[in-house]
Amino acid sequence: MKKILIIYASRFGQTEKICFYIQEQLLMKKLACDVVNIIALDETVNLIDYTHILLASSIYYGKHNKALLTWIDKYHDRFLNKIVGFISVNLTARKPNRDRVDTNIYTKKLMIESPYQFDIVDVFAGKLNYRQYNLLDRYMLRFVMWITKGETNFDTNKEYTDWGRIDGFIEKWLSLT
């Protein structure tokens, strides 16, 4: 029987929303699934009962969450015989030619640098809501969006996540043995 653990890092809630959506889909399939924020994770969590683990992080200034990456570094020897996936959430992936593992700079980097070879990696577009960010972040991100020909209006509150692709990911991940 499959039992799933999802550990996520999210600052403004989009990665969290994706993870709880995945949990909802799994529960509908009558699968047991726990979801934990890396902030609340007991780092020595007992992984024995879990068959599947999903790690999820958003990108800030080019980087995945440090605490999550450190946890993977420290405990990946406990992943033996489990199906382990990683999903990255960022705004670069809003572009059609940057929304695949091999075309998105952050997942490409992760695959090269991670000490653990995940069974499955995917990347999804996140959310842009300028009003949520502090002044510095707001201007910095607007500059990045301007360079990449994205939305620069501070009233923008847009979810780019393609939920159909998340459904596809779930199916693929669960089918791995």
Under rule CB under 6 A, residue 14 binds ligand FMN: yes
Q: Considering only 12-20, 70-78, 111-119, 166-174, which stretch makes contact with ligand FMN by CB under 6 A?
A: 12-20
Residue numbers 18-57 binding ligand FMN by CB under 6 A: none
From residue 140 to residue 169, the character string flagging contacts with ligand FMN as x (rule: CB under 6 A) and all else as - is xx----------------------------
Three-state secondary-structure class, residue 3? strand
CA distance 9 to 96: 24
The answer to whether 126 and 160 have CB atoms below 8 angstroms apart is yes
* β 127-129/157-159 pair status: antiparallel
For the bound state, the minimum distance from the C-beta of residue 102 to ligand FMN, rounded and expressed in Å, comes to: 16
* Alpha helix stretches (DSSP H) within 56-119: 66-75, 105-113
Would you say 117 or 152 has its CB closer to ligand FMN? 152
Tell me how many residues contact ligand FMN (CB under 6 A). Answer: 23
From residue 105 to residue 134, the character string flagging contacts with ligand FMN as x (rule: CB under 6 A) and all else as - is ---------------------xxx----x-
Residue numbers 57-76 binding ligand FMN by CB under 6 A: 58-62
The answer to whether 135 and 98 have CB atoms below 8 angstroms apart is no
Q: What are phi and psi of 41, to 5 degrees?
A: -70, 130
Three-state secondary-structure class, residue 57? strand
Where on the chain is the footprint of ligand FMN (CB under 6 A)? Answer: 10-16, 58-62, 89-92, 126-128, 133, 137, 140-141
